[in-house]
Amino acid sequence: MNDILSEIAAYKRREIEAAKERIDPDEMEDRAFAVPKPRAFMAAIREKLAERRPALIAEIKKASPSRGLIREEFDPAALARAYQEGGATCLSVLTDEPSFQGRPEYLQQARGACSLPALRKDFMFDPYQVFEARTWGADCILVIMAAVTDHEAQALIGTAEAIAMDVLVEVHDEAELERALRLDADLIGINNRDLRSFRTDLATSERLAPMVPKDRIVVAESGIANPADIARLQACGIHAFLVGESLMRQADVAEATRRLLSPALVEVA
Ligand SMILES: O=C(O)c1ccccc1NCC(=O)[C@H](O)[C@H](O)COP(=O)(O)O
């Protein structure tokens, strides 16, 4: 694991242990089963693709390790409504606080303000976090192959499936993609950001997307800023787009989302 991920993994494992002290794992599991059923995250993407339109997973992200503070005026509920109005298919909400200034409440506020399914965007290591995510309203979790062993990934995926949540499995090179495919991941995110150098290059998606079997959904993540980027990624078989910073920096988020999706007129293959 590289430096930033090792750093994040170390404090996450401490956070998880502290959370288990507050609410024990059996109680958290019971709570996760007791909340209303999740919204269908992957099905929402498939429906958008059936309409031959690109699916946008719009991210609510206040800050990041690579960019520092991204958005000063930050109202997750208003942002979620703006994303829905602009045509987003799903939300992604950062819940990690030390590196992204995220919070569980942001996920609750955002999802509560619209009808879109929401991803808990965080660094997941332990099934406890999956149950916790569900109690906060998350419909989907992220599994970052660069951060976890196959065994950990399997446990996270199995737990999510048991409570009807979807899983976005993130890769950023060939080896991680092979591991994700062995885990039978249906929703595969290709992160264009190299988490070591923070360099972002859409060519990562162009290189890896053709290696994904056609029956999976491929999401390009990071560094997507305009309709030309969407069109470029569609041309190599990408179905869905996870976009944060470029939308978070706009004053009128609904209008920016509409503009970004203007190549919706271009048919998805
Ligand atoms: O964004 C970062 O600096 C970062 C650093 C370390 C690990 C993950 C990081 N980002 C997470 C993401 O995957 C992005 O938030 C997401 O793909 C959206 O990217 P962008 O549109 O470039 O904000």
pLDDT digits (tens, 9 = 90+) for 163-202: 999 999 999 999 999 999 999 999 999 999 998 788 999 9
CATH of the domain at 25: 3.20.20.70
Tokens encoding 87 = 């045509």
Mean pLDDT on 35-53: 97
Q: What is the DSSP string of 44-100?
A: HHHHHHHTT--EEEEEE-SEETTTEE--SS--HHHHHHHHHHHT-SEEEEE--STTT
Q: What is the pLDDT of residue 263?
A: 61
User: Which atom of ligand 1 is closest in space to residue 245's alpha carbon?
Assistant: 23
d(C-alpha 113, C-alpha 210), whole Å: 37
Sign (positive or negative) of CA dihedral 209, 151, 37, 77:
negative
* Whole-Å CA distances, 26 to 2, 19, 135, 166: 33, 12, 13, 22
Q: What is the mean pLDDT of residues 25-35?
A: 98
Using 50, 70 and 90 to split pLDDT, how confident is the model at 2?
Answer: low
Using the mean position of ligand 1's atoms as its centre, give its distance from the Cα of residue 122 in Å.
Answer: 10
Atom of ligand 1 nearest to the CA of 192: 17
Q: Is the CB of 5 under 6 A from ligand 1?
A: no
Q: Is the ipTM of this complex over 0.85?
A: yes
Ligand 1 atom closest to the CA of 246, numbered from 1: 21
pLDDT of residue 269 exceeding 50, the answer is no
Cα separations (Å) of 134 from 17, 34, 65, 227, 230? 18, 10, 26, 33, 31
Q: Mean of the pLDDT values across residues 5-24?
A: 97
- The pLDDT, as a whole number, for residue 183 is 97
Q: Would strands 63-64 and 68-69 be described as parallel, antiparallel, or unpaired? A: antiparallel
Among protein residues, the one with the nearest Cα to ligand 1's atom 17 is 222
Residues of the domain holding 117: 3-265
Pairing between strand 217-221 and 187-191?
A: parallel
Q: Among 66, 148, 193, say which to mutate for ligand 1: greatest number of ligand atoms within 8 Å of CB.
A: 193
pLDDT of residue 197: 85
Tokens 């009807």 belong to residue? 164
The three-point CA angle 138-164-214 to 5° equals 95
What are the residue numbers of the active site? 59, 61, 121, 170, 191, 221-222
Domain count along the chain: 1
What's the mean per-residue pLDDT of the chain? 95
Residue nearest to atom 19 of ligand 1 (CA): 222
* pLDDT tens figures, 99-123: 999 999 999 999 999 999 999 999 9
Is the minimum distance from the CB of 191 to ligand 1 under 6 angstroms?
A: yes
pLDDT tens for each residue of 227-265: 999 999 999 999 899 999 999 999 999 999 999 999 644
Residue 17 neighbours by CB distance under 10 Å: 11
Compute, in angstroms, the gap from residue 30 CA to the centroid of ligand 1.
Answer: 32
| Lookup result for tokens 């976009």 | 243
How far, in whole angstroms, is CA 215 from its chain's centroid? 20
Question: Quick one: tokens of 180?
Answer: 């994700």
- Atom of ligand 1 lying closest to residue 224 CA: 21
Ligand 1 within 6 A of 204 CB?
A: no
pTM: 0.96
pLDDT of residue 3: 83
